A and B are shown apart, each in its own frame.
Chain A
Amino acid sequence: MSWNADRAKSRIREHLKTVPAVDGNIALDSARALATVRKSGLIGRLPVRQAFLVEGVHLYGQLLDFDDLVAESGTETEASHRKMLRFLSMHYRVWDAIVDGDDGDRVDYHGARLHAVVTSPAGNPAAQIAKAVALARRLAEAAQKLGQVHGFPSRIRFGIDHGRCLAMTTGRSHEKDTLFLGRPANHAAKLAAADTQEGIFLTDTAQRRAKPGAVRKSAGRTVLDESYVAEAVRNFAFDSLDRRVAEVALDIAAPQFHFKRPPLPLSGVKFADLTPAKSVRMAMASIFADIDGFTHFVDEAIEGGANEIRQAVTTVHVIREELNSVLKEDFDGKRVRFIGDCIHGCVGEDERADNGPKTVRQAVMCANAMRSSFDHCLAAVAPDAEIDLAVGIEYGVTPMTRLGYRGDHSVRCAASRATIDAERTQQAIEGGGIRLGVVARQVAEPVVRKIFAAGPLMSFDAASDLLAAPQSPAVRIVRSEPAARSHTAPSRRL
């Protein structure tokens, strides 16, 4: 199957019917929103079709040693992937302790990036930030201790920001995603990924809202004052975290990962069926499709009030659901997760053996189809929105599995050099467009490399014609009538 304009329009009409409800009062009243969140327990258990405005701290942890674990001597092998997954599993189990207690809420894990939200004490940003700092310090200590027990390097860089975000949950069972959209989540994530120096770092906003004296200048850089961190650690206990660390430290029986090649299409892979012992692994293209400018769009909506928030919720819901539909229904791809306003998915081609050129071509066609659907979405919900689509693609052997504890809280995972580089490739795009990672460029067919290595995304129709896709009528015409190829005569005048 491939992309079809009428089918996309029809899907968009259906997506419009499932837009999460935004109650005016709840959306604009953080205390009520939090009350609802608390009542429902974990943020991940938020009602699927409701959106909330949540004020709190966003804590991102970037596992700095992840890149080195993905490959052994530069090569990704089953052994290196097993080791990398055991490493992630260990960290995910520790962070899961945050969920089990009432210290904060786990939001999402995406490979080496872990995200938690701290929403208490309600209405006290300085205390929320102090609690997040204390939590980060305890997580860093836990990682160090467990790393020694399990034989992993475990440096973490934390990014912390504070403010209001739009929260919404979509999906069912093991395919559920809770998203936090807005400046605090975005800036904290960027701060965590900005450098390779471990430690705890606050954004400018978080620094302003933290208790006076929380940060100081040291050698021209702003660092957390150690006495502030020590006081925060004394003031906030994390009993469940301590219990979990002790438990994981004793549990040296690491999960055993066994890989097999998944039956295609990848869209048929269900995370619910995956366990460490039943993991899948094959060469696939990782696709990161991000809505450029969306954080600013959401921030303006949050400032603008209930109507603007409804508009933003509608826009992000329709766009990401449609991007998911394009990936899954039109190109047989598998969504790994939504990450904020971004969708991470994979496509793979050929049942028996890896086929790099065909897979990258399929990913590129998918990206351009996403662009066409994106345009239809904008026309339907936000014609004036200054947002664009940026897609990064990388190719490589990637394992897929579930990590952490069994049940609804287990974590979907597709992690490899390709997934890391696909995201980095996407992040390198200025504005909208498409870019292929180094490996994807190497394996791509010459025509794909020439036109789509880096540049603007096109419509599905233009991409079909330029890549000589079988469904292109221009291609079919030339195949049946080779003389139907345009030409330019030597200069003449009428």
Chain B
Amino acid sequence: MSIAALADTAPGWAELRRIDARQADIDAVVTRSSGAFTRVFELVAVHLAHEIRVLERIRGATLPSSCPDRHINDDGSFCLGLRAGEGITAVTAAAWWTKLHSFLLCQETAAESGLWPAGSQISHGEAGDIEIRAEGAASGLGLLHVYREALEFDIGPIAAGVSKINNATGLLRNGRSACLCGRTDRRGNALLRRECHRLGCPIVFEYQRRAAVDRFWVSMQGRPCCGTMRYCPLKP
């Protein structure tokens, strides 16, 4: 069903070469900003249990066989987005292709520069879920841009606020002070930190996200490094 849905919604840049009920071979070439084409990516989409996984037909042919910073899992499958391969139906298949499109564009940029475009990825492992929640909270406060600056460049008031978190509680110190994220109540009065914590403070989320990212990299220790990314913590 999922493979059929993908076949029905395949975009022009993807050619499905061989399809059966469980898997499809895909050749993909996408167009970059300048109108130049990427390499040909020879992929296979496999229906396993309740999800679709996509990986290179010959693992390691043009992409690293695994690399967290290039969003390629231990098994060689691509991580196109948070739970991107789950529940693919006729309704969601087009979005899956969009995610693959973005993924392949970014692979080309990463191969050349050793960097993944910051806006086209979310944090590794369980930190990804926290990032989504943090973005929601920051967005509600009109602070999405400030949050992205904290995440990508470690600058701005949210990044500064992270250093004021009590490591024992995971919350901002001085709970009866005005929250550093700037949240106010309906009358425009500054909200206390302890009240902001209950509503979901982006500073606390960012603290949690950073801790989750650290745990992710600890869990990855000992894995081989493909050597293609500029700032990979796995680099020897």
Contacts and interface: CB of A to CB of B under 8 A. Distances in A.
Chain B associates with chain A: yes
A490 B81 CA distance: 13
Given A5-B35, A446-B155, A462-B109, A488 B71 contact: yes
Interface string A417-442: 00000000000000000000000000
A472 B75 CA distance: 30
Interface stretch (A192-200, A341-349, A399-407, A476-484): A476-484
Nearest to A459: B112
Contact of A451 (B71, B79, B115): B115
Interface in B75-130: 75-82, 84, 95, 98-99, 101-103, 105-106, 108-109, 112-113, 115-126, 128
Nearest to A481: B98
A351 to B, nearest CB: 25
A460 B117 CA distance: 14
Interface residues of B, number: 56
A488 B81 contact: no
A3 B33 CA distance: 8
Given A484-B95, A487-B128, A488-B125, A475 B117 contact: yes
B113 A487 contact: no
B68 interface: yes
Contacts of A458: 112-113
Given A466-B117, A473-B30, A485-B121, A494 B77 contact: yes
B31 interface: yes
Interface string A361-381: 000000000001000000000
Interface in B203-236: 216, 219-220, 223
Greatest chain B CB density within 10 A among A462, A465, A471 is at A465
Nearest to A480: B98
Contact of B98 (A450, A462, A477): A477
Contacts of A460: 33-34
A464 B112 CA distance: 13
B78 to A, nearest CB: 8
* Interface size grouping (class) on chain A: 35 or more
Contacts of A2: 33-34
B102 A486 contact: yes
A17 interface: no
A447 interface: yes
B87 to A, nearest CB: 13
A492 B106 CA distance: 23
B105 A465 contact: yes
Contacts of B106: 465, 474, 486
A4 interface: yes
B153 A450 contact: yes
Contacts of A477: 98, 101-102, 105, 120
A493 B74 contact: yes
Nearest to B149: A446
B11 to A, nearest CB: 12
A416 B9 CA distance: 57
16 contacts: A4-B35, A446-B153, A450-B153, A460-B34, A461-B34, A461-B108, A474-B105, A475-B119, A480-B98, A481-B102, A484-B80, A484-B102, A486-B102, A486-B120, A486-B121, A492-B74
Interface of B: 30-36, 53, 68-69, 71-82, 84, 95, 98-99, 101-103, 105-106, 108-109, 112-113, 115-126, 128, 149, 152-153, 155, 216, 219-220, 223
Closest 9 CB pairs of A and B: A494-B75, A486-B71, A464-B33, A461-B32, A5-B36, A446-B153, A465-B109, A474-B105, A488-B124
Given A466-B109, A488-B124, 15 more contacts: A2-B34, A5-B36, A446-B153, A458-B113, A462-B113, A472-B117, A473-B32, A475-B120, A481-B98, A481-B102, A483-B82, A486-B106, A488-B128, A491-B219, A491-B220
